Structure 1
Amino acid sequence: MHYERLGRTALKVSRLCLGTLNFGVRTTKDDSFALMDEALEQGINFFDTANHYGWQVHRGMTEELVGEWFASGGGRRDKVVLGTKVFCPMSDWPNDQGLSARHIIASCDASLRRLRTDWIDLFQMHGVDPTAGWDEVWQAMETLLHQGKIRYVGSSNFPGWNMVSAQEAANRRNFLGIVSEQCIYNLVDRQVEREVIPAARAYGVGVVAWSPLHGGLLGGALRKLGEGTAVKSAQGRAVVAMSTYREAVERYEEFCLDRGLDPAETALAWVLSRPAVTSAVIGPRTRAHLDGSLRALGSDLSEDTLREVEALFLPPAPTVG
């Protein structure tokens, strides 16, 4: 396993981050435990969750499941760099969401109880709250840091401007501020290359890429749909994007077939090859999915092959008149 510093910190995280979005929802508790055990055994030390994951059953369920796994012993908690998130509504009450100081602190305490741990390594803001000033946000984060409840603060789904304004406010307080930005990044969605990644590189913020397969679209979706074996790629983000990118996906799957490449592993290898990416969030439902991600990490795809893959999804160059 390869490890990288998380942004400008000295914290070392694995290049694959185990995402837990499926745990307890699409994956049973026993299978989720087995995946966490195997990930840790393979050297994946970076786990990501969120306070509202499991909302299909009840908000907080996934954190509870991860906490039960931690409680089963074996030094699990000490080995894991744990990230969770705050922002999304946890109930219908007005103060049970967003980035007010009240909600940040209350949400952290609730996550700690569900996760059965004394500290969160990476406490991530799951979105921008336009009603919360950065002095209020950073005051709350400083309180949690001084109490020993969190170690670092990250952002997720932040536009570049908000990253800059947040970090400048932290700098004025002599606070470390944002050390990572978790954003969607894959062959289909490269919007973060415009402003988010330049901002991250300028401020020493680690980029953690989520949805490297764009909800399964890049994992052989057309073949699976044809075979009737599609699960994730038959719903959500993948289905919405298919109407726009069908021709590109067809070319991509043909490209992989001609060269004996696995589409999912190739797409993940491309994300991991991007110079700004510290880690990529994977969301395996099965051991086979996890094994495929590990193979992508050890991929020996050439620079030429990666450029060819990338070119399949690039729009034609504009005509200069």
Structure 2
Amino acid sequence: MIHTQLGRTGLRVSRLALGTVNFGGRVEEPEAHDLLDHALDQGINLIDTANIYGWRVYKGHTEEVIGRWLAGQPARRDQVVVTTKVGDPMGEGPNDHGLSARNIVASCEASLRRLGTDWIDIYQMHHLDRTVGWDEVWQAMDLLVTQGKVRYVGSSNFAGWDIAAAQEAARARNSLGLVTEQCAYNLVTRHTELEVIPAARAYGLGLYAWSPLHGGLLSGVLGKMATHSAVKSAQGRALEALDTQHDTIAAYEKLCADHGLDPAVVGMAWTLSRPGVTGVVIGPRTRRHIDGGIEALTTTLPPALLTELDTLFPPLGKGGPAPDAWLT
């Protein structure tokens, strides 16, 4: 497993993060524990979850699943970097969502109980809350860091200017601020290249791409559908995108076959190769999915293939960061 430094911090993390969004409803607890064991055995030390995950069973279920796994062998807690998220609604009350100081602190306490741990390594804001000022957000986050309940703070699904605003507000408080951004990024979804990646790089944030296969769209969906083996790739965002990108995906799968490469490996290897990308979050349902991610880590795509991928999935404008991407 390849480990790297997380942005400007001294924290070392695996370039593959084990995403747990499928734990509960798609992956039952015994299988989830097996996946966690396999990931740790392969050197994956970054476990990504959120307080809302497990909603197919009940909100918070996934954190409890991870907590029971950690409790099974207490030494595991020092071997892994646990990240969870705050912001999505966890109840019906008016203060059960968002990034108010009240909800940040209360949600952290609840996540700690479910995870059965004394600290969260990276506490991420799941989404921006435009109703709350940064002074309030950082007051709450700084309190949790001072108390030792949170080690680092991260963001998820932020725009580039939101990263900048958050960092400047943290700087004014002499706080470390954000250390990581987690965002959607893959061959199909490339808008991240315009503003988010440049902002993350400028402020020294590590960047993890979630959905590197666009919900399975880039995993060989057409071949799987032909053999009736498609599961996640035959639903959700993958199925929606397939309506408008069927011919492109067919050409993509043929291109991968011509190069003798698995489409899922190509999709992840491409994202991992992009400037500014620390790693990818995979959401495995089987050990094979984890092994495919590890294969992508060690796969170098030839320049000719990269050029062909840019032709099939062109970047926005001229490519690269804004504003150069659209200057005439």
Q: TM-score, normalised by structure 2?
A: 0.95
Residue 2 (structure 1) aligns with: 2
Corresponding residue number in structure 2 for 1:173: 173
> CA 1:40–1:212 in structure 2 vs 1: closer, same or farther (change >3 Å)?
same
Q: Distance in 2 between matches of 1:244 and 1:137?
A: 40
Cα distance change of structure 1 residues 258 and 234 upon mapping to structure 2, 3 Å threshold: same
Post-superposition CA distance 1:222-273 (Å, at most 9, x none)? 1111222111011111011112221211110011112211000110000110
Cα separation, 1, equivalents of 2:167 and 2:69: 34
Separation of aligned partners in 1, 2:316 and 2:167 = 36
The equivalent residue for 1:232 is 232
The alpha-carbon distance between structure 1 residues 275 and 315, as it changes in their structure 2 partners (threshold 3 A), is closer
Unaligned runs of 5+ in 2: 319-327
Q: How does 1:147-186 map to 2 (within 5 A)?
A: 147-186=147-186
Distance in structure 2 (CA, Å) of the matches to 1:114 and 1:187: 35
Q: Describe how 1:49-64 pairs up with structure 2 within 5 A.
A: 49-64=49-64
Does residue 44 in structure 1 map to residue 49 in structure 2? no
Residues 1:88 and 2:111 are matched in the alignment: no
- Counterpart residue number, 1:195: 195
Q: Establish whether residue 79 from structure 1 lines up as the match of residue 79 from structure 2.
A: yes
> How far off is 1:310 after superposition?
3.0
The C-alpha deviation readout for 1:96-137, integer Å capped at 9, x for no partner, is: 100000000000000000000000000000001011100000
Structure 2 letter corresponding to 1:255: L
Residue 145 of structure 2 is matched in structure 1 by 145
Task: Give the letter for the 1:192 counterpart.
Answer: T
* Matched residue type, 2:248: A
- Letter of the 2:299 partner, please give it: S
**What letter corresponds to residue 257 of structure 1 in structure 2?**
A
3-state SS of the aligned residue for 1:77? Answer: helix
Large movers: runs of 4+ above 4 Å: 315-318
Aligned to 1:17: 17
User: Which SS does the other structure have where 1:277 is aligned?
Assistant: coil
Residue 69 of structure 1: aligned partner: 69
- Deviation per CA, 1:65-91: give whole Å up to 9, x if none: 000000001511110011000000001
Secondary structure at the aligned position of 2:73 is classed as coil
| Counterpart-to-counterpart distance in 1, 2:47 and 2:82 | 5
Q: CA deviation at 1:309?
A: 2.3
**Among the aligned pairs, what percent are the same residue?**
60
Q: Cα distance, 1:50 vs. partner? A: 0.1
Aligned-residue CA RMSD (Å): 1.4
Find the aligned partners of 1:252 and 1:11 in 2 and give their Cα distance: 36
Q: Distance in 2 between matches of 1:53 and 1:131?
A: 24
Decide whether the 8 Å contact of 2:101 with 2:136 is kept in 1. yes
Map of 1:106-125 to 2, 5 A cutoff? 106-125=106-125
TM-score between the two structures when normalised by the length of structure 1: 0.97
| 1:303 Cα deviation after fit | 3.0
* Structure-2 separation of matches of 1:28 and 1:175: 40
SS at match of 2:98: coil
Q: Matched residues in 2 for 1:147 and 1:244: separation?
A: 50
Number of residue pairs the alignment of both structures matches: 319
